[in-house]
Chains A and B, each alone.
Chain A
Amino acid sequence: MAIATRSKERAKRPTTSLIPGSSRSSFWPYLVPGLALLTFIIVIPLLWNVYLTFTSYRGIRPPEFIGLENWVELFGDTTFWTSFRNSVAMIIAMVVVPTVVGLVLAAMLFDLIGRKFGGRLASFLRATYYLPQILPGVIAAIVIGWILRPENGALNQVLAAVGLGGLQGNWLGDPDTALPSIMVIMVWVQLGYPVVIFMAALQRVDPELYEAAELDGANWFQRFRAITVSIIRPEIFVVTLTCAIAALKVFSPIYALTGGGPGTSMIVPAYYAYSEFFQSQQVGYGATIATALTVVIAVVSIIFVLVQTRLERSEEAR
């Protein structure tokens, strides 16, 4: 936030509770259960981890203080940077594509199919798109792994059946196809979430706005951009932020599909931390990776929430 706008924002900020006669501080007791639980389950373990990043700890003998050694090692660790490069791919597959495609699909289902072919068909299609979301991640991975496996996997059999046998491959085992395959799988998993949220949000849009725009000669895309996107912006924020957090800390599909392989080519930060914690027993180093990941996620979230709060306020001021 720029400093210049800061004082202006302060002045606009409401300083009373929404209930007249109740001071803001009288609401603190309601935060006690939540914050107490948060302290024990989240804050203390987090601080514990931060402490572990300055130690060498193999899980048996007590942690030994080694200063910044883990952090120095982390910045020179190519596997760590590979894992973040894969995080970018995960953000494309789990945030960018699902949000954009989800927005178009939701508008298509709601505006066109719902209107011309009936709401029932639209809800049925929406439920179909949502299916992968209710499938436990590890089960999805088992099924997908079985579809993609090189010998007698369903995908290779389909390719052979339609005469494209030359395209058959070891989808998850070949470094060239592992990343694209996992990206496609993550799009499949994630797509239903934005569709459901956006379709619900679209019901808030006043149809008369559309009709007016139609009369003014706006085409579908112009209406979509000017009306739809601006009205459901709050949902777009929630979807993008929650998907971005999920993408940065993605773990179970990688764990169950490839174990970060082939080699370490498909490793993601959360899986790297896990393997240091439990496979190499380098608890101090694992804690360092996990802490670095937490910092990245926290920074992304803070920027998001600040931008969101700011937009909400400028909206109210209007």
Chain B
Amino acid sequence: MAITDTPAGTTARAALQQPPRQRPRGGRARKTAGDWLILLVAVLIGLLIAVPFLLILANSFKSPADYATGGPLSLPTSLSFDGITAFWERVDFPRKLWNSFFISAVVAVLAVGISMFNAFALGIGRVRGRTWLVLLILLANMLPQEVLLYPLYFMFREVGLYDNVWAVIIIFTVIQSAFGTYLLASVYGTFPKELLEAASLDGASRWQILWRVIFPISRPTLSVLLIFFFIWTWNEFLIPLTFLVGNDNQTVPVAITVLQGDRLMDVTTTSASALLGLLPTLIFFLIFQRTLTRGITAGAVK
């Protein structure tokens, strides 16, 4: 950290951590009819986007009888937790929640690490042929996932990792780090040169420069990647569905989808399952919302 306290370092950090610019000037008073109209449009769009979520919320707490009489649009006449408890118990929800959490968290950390190493070589090291290397790595993101299913099924079965969460963790580490490498390599390509020069004059090795200069300064961008990777992995469906066949290994989205075929599922239970499936990522998103905006601003693509 000492290195970043050089004048160049402080400027760079200040520039990177600049708070969002607000313009109090211009006065909150000067609001024309046009401004109100635009606000109205923006709020209406927001409402329209939120409608399905409000419907989930309203119907998750209804009893099946209440739904049968009032239909999907009415508010529940009394709070019923039947749907939620029915779903919770039927799928052993805590177990699925832990699986999803464990897979997403491990993938997020590993993928950020791999992205950082890759981007260090590509963006800072500028190794020969880096544009084509980025494209090769991006292949992981470009491939339709169906391509991977047959070959990886045979490969993982061979090494005894089929129906094991680690198979899914390895696959998504590669897929997510492709996006991370693409974004970070371009951020690192414009990394303040003075900082790197100062560090290397101080006799720091490449490894030390990576951990003591580049890592702390790009931390906001790395946190954004961490959040994206977590949410994206959480929401993945096809590969967990294929590789985690055992009931004990399933993730939340897979468990919910598998239940849809169940004849015993009524609408309120379906709605409750959607609510429980969405809640963890929603909470995660609300906690890290601030990091998200600050981070993208700081590193951004350039």
Contact = CB atoms under 8 A, between A and B. Distances in A.
A14 B193 CA distance: 13
Interface string A252-282: 1001100000000000011001100100000
Interface in A188-203: 188, 191-192, 196-197, 199-201, 203
B231 A26 contact: no
A136 B253 contact: yes
A33 B284 CA distance: 29
A34 B46 contact: no
Interface string A15-54: 0111111101111101101110110111111101100100
A204 interface: yes
B42 A125 contact: yes
Contacts, number: 309
A158 interface: yes
A273 B145 CA distance: 10
A293 B257 contact: no
A44 B301 CA distance: 31
A209 to B, nearest CB: 12
B235 A203 contact: no
Interface in B138-192: 138-152, 155, 170-171, 173-175, 177, 179, 181-183, 186, 191
Given A200-B297, A277-B146, A298-B142, A136 B277 contact: yes
B55 A147 contact: yes
Given A41-B174, A188-B49, A305-B135, A197 B141 contact: no
Contacts of A242: 141, 179
A113 B302 contact: no
Contacts of B226: none
Nearest to B231: A134
Given A19-B124, A27-B124, A134-B285, A196 B292 contact: yes
A156 to B, nearest CB: 10
Contact of A238 (B26, B117, B252, B301): B301
Contacts of A98: none
Contacts of B273: 139
B22 A119 contact: yes
Contacts of B137: 34-35, 38
A91 interface: no
Given A18-B124, A27-B124, A234 B300 contact: yes
Contacts of A188: 49
Contact of A22 (B45, B53, B125, B292): B125
Contact of B142 (A45, A134, A294): A294
A42 B139 contact: yes
Interface stretch (A68-76, A170-178, A284-292): A284-292
Interface string B20-41: 1111001010110001001100
A83 to B, nearest CB: 12
A34 B139 CA distance: 13
Interface in A109-143: 109, 112-119, 123, 125, 127-140, 142-143
A142 B260 CA distance: 8
A103 interface: no
For this complex, into which size category does the number of interface residues on chain B fall?
A: 35 or more
Contacts of B138: 301, 305
A283 interface: yes
B218 interface: no
Which of B42, B141, B274 is the most central at the interface, judged by chain A CB atoms within 10 Å of its CB? Answer: B42
A298 B292 CA distance: 29
Contacts of B12: none
A105 interface: yes
B277 A18 contact: no
Given A30-B117, A270-B144, A294-B147, A158 B73 contact: yes
Contacts of B85: none
Interface stretch (B2-10, B91-99, B126-134): B126-134
Contacts of A131: 49-50, 53, 282
Given A46-B139, A134-B281, A138-B253, A113 B39 contact: yes
A230 interface: no
Contact of B121 (A16, A28, A49, A133): A28
Closest 7 CB pairs of A and B: A27-B125, A200-B296, A45-B151, A234-B301, A27-B121, A30-B121, A128-B46
